[in-house]
Amino acid sequence: MKLITWNCNMAFRKKAAAILAHKPDILVVQECEHPDKLLFPDNTPKPTHVLWFGENTNKGLGIFSYGAFRLKKIRIHDPSIKLIVPISVTGGSFDFTLFAIWANNPEDPDGTYVAQIWKAIHQYQKKIKRTQTVLAGDFNSNTIFDKKYRTGNHSHVVDKLAKENIHSVYHLHHAQVHGKEAHPTWYLYRHADKPFHLDYCFVSKDLSDKIISVEIGAHNQWSQYSDHVPVMVDFDL
């Protein structure tokens, strides 16, 4: 199974061919337009299922499945936590819960970005288990942005998930330390000399044991499409 998360920087319909060339089974796309606007060319692979969440039809959170996988929003979804959505993924050889993430809620006085994830992992703590759990998307956060005396920073999120034996596949597979990543996922103004690591895929141990590869897109390939590059994870499932 290949899972990809990518903030496409809007107009996904014009950029879909580039990411679909990597043949995802599950694709999480931030800044994705509403499905009614997704008019793909005839030769573009069509998804089996599509879920979309957001208030701006030009810029929401899209989740796409291909092949046998089926997607269903779980009833415990709390729309006040934007935009983090628990989704049941079934139909493949391994069922799991996917938390699709675009941490971006400027209306929340508690915090726009990582505060949303901190709230979500408490709100959904009974569903975030040691098995069959994936959190993937644009977290808009990194340990380097931690506010030392504020509860719910990036390091707190990482530590709380670690207590459930849930870890970032990139950091596991490439032996990286949070805040010192060798491979950025976001480039400010698309400039190669302004790199940050903001996009993640966290998984429970039953899935991390099945990782085949973790690839972070290259700036020179993806900067024509977005200020983010994709995170692409292959599992032996």
HSE-up of residue 20 (Cα within 13 Å, Cβ side)? 17
Domain that holds residue 104: 2-235
Q: What is the pLDDT of residues 197-226, one digit of tens each?
A: 999 999 999 999 999 999 999 999 999 999
Residues contacting 130, CB < 8 A, separation 6+: 164, 165, 166, 204, 205, 206
The answer to whether residues 126 and 85 touch, using CB atoms and an 8 Å cutoff, is no
Q: What is the pLDDT of residues 120-157, one digit of tens each?
A: 999 999 999 999 999 999 999 999 999 887 889 999 99
CA dist 140 → 32, 134, 154 (Å): 16, 17, 10
Asked whether the whole model's pTM tops 0.85, one would answer: yes
Q: Model confidence at 117, in pLDDT bands (50, 70, 90)?
A: very high
Reduced to 3 states (helix: H, G, I; strand: E, B; else coil), residue 41 is coil
Residue type, 136: A
Number of domains in the chain: 1
Average pLDDT, the chain: 96
Measure the CA–CA gap between 6 and 174, rounded to whole angstroms. 19
Q: Provide the pairing of β-strand 26-32 with 60-65.
A: antiparallel
Mean pLDDT computed over 181-185: 98
Q: Model confidence at 119, in pLDDT bands (50, 70, 90)?
A: very high
Q: What is the pLDDT of residues 58-72, one digit of tens each?
A: 999 999 999 999 999
39 has a pLDDT exceeding 90: no
CATH code for position 27: 3.60.10.10
